[in-house]
Amino acid sequence: MSQKSDWLPSARDAVLARAWLVVLAAKFQAWGVVQSTMQSFSAMVTDAETALTTAKNETTRTSVATARCKEAFDAMVTDADYVSLGLKSCDATQTPSGKPTA
């Protein structure tokens, strides 16, 4: 099984963020999310989508554009968010594995 070496967020990440925005827009009051948080998340999703489009376009892709894209997606979910959900944060260090035995 190969690993993805490209660290740009995938289009799937953008679709997932947009889907969460739709769910949150419908339920934010019932879930006790304040309007300002809703607006902030909406702005982050839009910013991330724009940054991803710029970074994936061959005519606008630069090292600055790809770094900006990564930062835009990283801003949406912090390590504290992972911990509060009981998840492990992303590990950037590859885990060594031995040679296959079979």
pLDDT digit of tens for each residue in the chain (102 aa)? Answer: 445 555 556 666 777 778 888 888 888 888 888 888 888 888 988 998 899 889 888 899 899 998 998 888 888 877 777 777 777 766 677 778 888 886
C-alpha angle 46-49-51 in degrees, rounded to nearest 5? 105
Decide: pTM greater than 0.85: no
